[in-house]
Amino acid sequence: MRFINPIPFVRDIDRSKDFYQKRLGLKVLEDFGNFVLFETGFAIHEGSSLEETIWGKAIVAEEPYGRRNLLLYFEHEDIEAAFENIAPHVEMIHPIERQAWGQRVFRFFDPDRHAVEIGEPQSLLPGNAQKS
């Protein structure tokens, strides 16, 4: 058994694909129309088609898919540059903050209100440097 990744449901696959390409700089590896896989292994799926696949019917609901119960985590080598590029275009949860474990992160919502976290790589933290 090997865990691969969670696949967030999205309402508008084109809007979300555009968001993750333009705002986070992810590159599309495969685009199947209602399912998009990015080079990093992150993937998104158009919600109603995935609902039909899993449960046999689309669930007509008005609430957003993101319900504050999942955090999509990404890392960026230059946290300040990532913040400057992303923050003006998203609904922020909070700016760059140092967490109790020493890592600096910022958080915001994607178009479907999934919470997204961008953190500096854990390997850059004191005591976590990888030995060569």
Q: Tell me: the pLDDT tens digits for 61-81?
A: 778 899 888 999 999 999 999
pLDDT given for residue 131 in this prediction: 43
Which residue stretches of the chain have pLDDT < 50?
131-132
Tell me which of 3.10.180.10, 3.40.1390.10, 3.60.15.10, 3.40.50.1820 is the CATH number of domain 9-124: 3.10.180.10
Considering the chain, what percentage of its residues have pLDDT values greater than 70?
A: 94
pLDDT tens for 120-130 read 998 867 776 55
- Delimit the domains of the chain by residue range: 9-124
Decide: pTM greater than 0.75. Answer: yes
Residue 79 zone, left/alpha/beta (φ > 0; ψ -120 to 50; rest):
alpha
Contact residues for 120 (Cβ-Cβ < 8 A; gap 6+): 75, 76, 77, 79, 103, 104, 105
Distance between CA atoms of residues 92 and 130, nearest Å:
32
